[in-house]
Amino acid sequence: MMNLVKTSKALKLPEGTDICLRGWIYRKREIGKKIFIVIRDSDGILQVVIDSGKVPESVYKEALRSSIEASIETCGTVAKEPRAPGGVELKAYMFKTWGFSESFPIKGGEGIDYLLDNRHLWIRSRKLTAIWKIRHTVLSALREYLNDNNWWEVSPPILTQAAVEGGATLFKVDFFGKNAYLSQSAQFYLEALIYSLEKVWSLSVSFRAERSRTRRHLYEYWHLELEEAWARMNDSMKVAEELTSYAISKVLNERLEELHFLKRNVEKLEIARKGSFPRITYDEAIKLLRKRDVKIKWGEDLGADEERVLTEYFDTPFFITHFPKKIKSFYMKLDPERPDVVLGFDLLAPEGYGEVIGGSQREDRYDVLLKRINEEGLNPDEYKWYLDLRLYGSVPHSGFGLGVDRLIMWISGLDHIRDSIPFPRFRDRLYP
């Protein structure tokens, strides 16, 4: 076949070049004896004009029959046209329809439930396509950073026997008549693996049966977790900072066009790519909240509303550390100087987004960990293997989990986490 190109390449070719394109009809208008079709492919869009005076009648008729979202192939000559998107159009002499599209169900102006029922078609939209590209770049940046910094990638299980992050949000699965659960976090498996590989990470799906209907919760989300032997809390925070700013930087370098298409104001991202995220303690966070008239007692958890207020104080992502132990998980190491708080940290994204990373130094003392398991009313038998890790060569270690979808949501400036992922699992939805 002759010179088959993508739309973005076509925009850069000299006038008079003959090319062919494949794609889907994005817009179509008939003006007089001409049909103007904007073609969409995975790269972008390009205007094609089919002039009845210049093509055989069969070609013109084929173009007339084809409508929005039909898949087509066309060949023609590249010409300058200031009124066309990108300033270029293709003067077609061949036009063929691969798959017709009678009355595409999404015409514009539909409500959210209708759109979600048609998510399998909605994902073709230019807005969502831009997000999928940003998502790709975020994922490749995260991998790249970890590979470049000598982290080992490992593969944790998804079917598990016990909770990592509390029983309330577990999805139960029938395991041959016994209960099993979908993993909330790979953390404990990563902790086991540091004794062979020292620095490990995984990217897997985590499940949370959270009934709260918020803009930032999915039932099923992509979780990047890492764990490092010998690392203290501050070491792990440094990794969180570098990893996040690396991803932001790569998106700014490679996906600026998509960010602009989404009308994302990139000012805050430009600041964040430099790293050096501010750090405050939970105690300081409480003071900042009270300054803004938020009524909160020491020891209460920070929800989405409190986090939103805190983000108003910062231009970049920022850390909160040293949380009261009763609002955090049993595995977090108690601060030796102040055993009512843990060596835990969250990283919050600015602009109202809030938590994207949760991490901590882990309790590495057998007796203290066993006591914490009992205090929380958990069954130590279910955590026997996890406790074992403290019996055979225990080391200080730390790690965190990054909510990939939340990071993408913030970087892309989305109102809702559902659009960070093609087929979101939220609000009782399993379809499509």
- Give the footprint of ligand 4AD on this chain (CB under 6 A): 164-165, 184-185, 187, 208, 210, 217-218, 221, 223, 225, 355-359, 399-401, 403, 405-406
- Cα separation, 38 vs 46, whole angstroms: 5
| Residue 217 dihedral angles phi and psi, to the nearest 5° | -115, 130
CA distance 100 to 71: 7
CA nearest neighbour of 349 among 246, 203, 241: 241
8-state DSSP, 86: G
The residues with which 181 forms a beta bridge, in sequence order, are 160, 172
Least distance to Mg ion, CB of residue 377, Å: 20
165 binds, among ligand 4AD, Mg ion, none (CB under 5 to 8 A by kind): ligand 4AD
In the complex with Mg ion, the residue whose CB is nearer, 264 or 328, is 328
We find the least distance from the C-beta atom of residue 21 to Mg ion, in angstroms, to be 47
Query: In this complex, which beta carbon is closest to ligand 4AD, that of residue 117 or of residue 165?
Result: 165
Least distance (Å) between residue 355 CB and Mg ion: 6
Q: Closer CB to ligand 4AD, residue 44 or residue 399? A: 399
Residue closer to ligand 4AD by CB (options 268, 328) is 328
Which among Mg ion, ligand 4AD, none contacts residue 424 (Cβ within 5 to 8 A by kind)? none
Q: Which of the 8 DSSP states describes residue 304?
A: H
In whole angstroms, give the CA distance from residue 76 to residue 81: 14
Q: Which residue's CB is nearer to Mg ion, number 26 or number 201?
A: 201
Largest CA distance in the chain: 87
Cβ 172 to ligand 4AD shortest distance, Å: 17
Select the binding partner of residue 138 from ligand 4AD, Mg ion, none (C-beta < 5 to 8 A, by kind). Answer: none
- Rounded CA separation 20/22 (Å): 7
Beta bridge partners of 61: none
Q: How far apart are CA 120 and CA 424, in angstroms?
A: 11
Contact 337, 374 (CB under 8 A): no
Query: Which two tokens mark 201?
Result: 């990470």
Residue 328: contacted member of ligand 4AD, Mg ion, none (CB under 5 to 8 Å, by partner type) = none
User: Which of ligand 4AD, Mg ion, none does residue 223 bind to, with CB < 5 to 8 Å depending on kind?
Assistant: ligand 4AD
Instruction: In angstroms, give the least distance from the CB of 278 to ligand 4AD.
Output: 18
Of ligand 4AD, Mg ion, none, which one sits near residue 357, judging by CB under 5 to 8 A according to partner kind? ligand 4AD
Which helix (H) or strand (E) covers residue 143, if one does? helix 126-148
CA torsion, ordered 209, 213, 215, 220, to nearest 10 deg: 20
Q: How far is the CB of 236 from ligand 4AD (least distance, A)?
A: 9
Residue 39 or 408 having the CB closest to ligand 4AD: 408
* Residue 40 or 333 having the CB closest to ligand 4AD: 333
* Measured CA angle at 237 (ends 234, 240), to 5 deg: 160
The interface partner of residue 221, options being Mg ion, ligand 4AD, none and the CB cut-off 5 to 8 Å by kind, is ligand 4AD
Nearer to ligand 4AD, 35 or 229 (CB): 229
Nearest-approach distance from CB 118 to ligand 4AD, in angstroms: 23
Residues that bind Mg ion (CB under 5 A): 358
Confirm if 316 and 204 have CB atoms less than 8 A apart: no
Helix pair angle (304-311, 282-291), 10° resolution: 80
Nearest approach in angstroms of CB 260 to ligand 4AD is 26
